[in-house]
A and B are shown apart, each in its own frame.
Chain A
Amino acid sequence: MALDQSFVGRTYPPTDPYEVGREKIREFAEAIGDTNPAYTDAEAAKALGYSDVIAPPTFVFAITFQAAGQVIEDPQLGLDYSRVVHGDQKFAYTRPVRSGDRLSVTSTIEAIKSMAGNDIIDIRGEVHDEAGEHVVTAITKLVARAAKEA
């Protein structure tokens, strides 16, 4: 069943702040095998002009995807999450995420499309720091595959 177009433009309340920890960044960098010192060595990060270690470009997804759960689990929207696959992902940065950031995400349903029985939904997550400054926008496209005929 096609999703209700009237949900396009709906914005959900900002999430409680997520505090980015130095060790969580280290754990993420190790998991992707990336030894760039900007992720683990505060002095190396400072040499690049940052106040503390920064996170790899895709680190913030864990935070924005958790926030997108508000949309995915909205019973009124009625997305069948068991059929959902990740279609596209995009990030647009104002500045990199760094250790000590307290990040809040505001999720908005950007678009809903229906193609060949598949529901396609674009969720925009605007990530701001504690001072209210924009850090990154994450656009997540989810595809709910058509249910098979019973």
Chain B
Amino acid sequence: MTATISYDEVEVGTELPAQTFPVSRATLVRYAGASGDFNPIHWNEKFAKEVGLPDVIAHGMFTMAEAIRVVTDWAGDPGAVAEYGVRFTKPVVVPNDETGALIEVTAKVAAKLDDDARTVRVDLTAVSAGQKVLGMSRAVVRLA
């Protein structure tokens, strides 16, 4: 466990560097293959509309995977993430063009949990097209 951020250096309210992640139809096809989730709502526009969605949507697990990158990039060690949970509040709608959609992620240290374990709680916010796409998005991270 070699997080590069020291527990002693962070305070409640410390903001992590924000990041924006692009997602196109090609991204979703690639993620479907890597994750084994081939639900057609993530690649077939006709099917997505038939089941009442506005268009193809990103896998919730894709959005969850992107959001935590803000934490793993910050901590330096992806294994420093001890807990991570989200609620899928709105879908990320991915139009069939070159730009696709953007997932904008911000995060801050919400609490210092345990001085001995050197753990902090980080609260994440993920927004796409002006809407919050993850709720209750929290990670517990072990710092150096």
Q: Which residues of A contact B (CB under 8 A)?
A: 24, 27-28, 30-34, 36, 38-39, 47-50, 54, 56-58, 61-62, 65-66, 85-93, 95-96, 139
Contacts of B65 in A (CB 8 A): 32, 34, 56-58
Known: A32-B66, A34-B72, A93-B83. 11 other contacts (CB 8 A): A28-B34, A48-B77, A56-B65, A56-B68, A56-B72, A58-B64, A62-B35, A89-B64, A90-B84, A92-B83, A93-B82
* B129 beta carbon closer than 8 Å to chain A: no
Contacts of A85 in B (CB 8 A): 88
CA distance A62 to B36 in the complex (A): 7
A38 & B79 in contact (Cβ 8 Å cutoff):
yes
B72 & A57 in contact (Cβ 8 Å cutoff):
yes
B85 & A54 in contact (Cβ 8 Å cutoff):
no
Name the contact of A57 in the complex, choosing from B34, B36, B73, B84 (C-beta under 8 A): B84
B77 & A30 in contact (Cβ 8 Å cutoff):
no
Name the contact of A88 in the complex, choosing from B27, B34, B79, B87 (C-beta under 8 A): B87
A66 & B36 in contact (Cβ 8 Å cutoff):
yes
CA distance A113 to B68 in the complex (A): 29
| Given the contacts A90-B83, A92-B82, A32 and B2 also touching, CB distance less than 8 Å | no
A31 & B85 in contact (Cβ 8 Å cutoff):
no
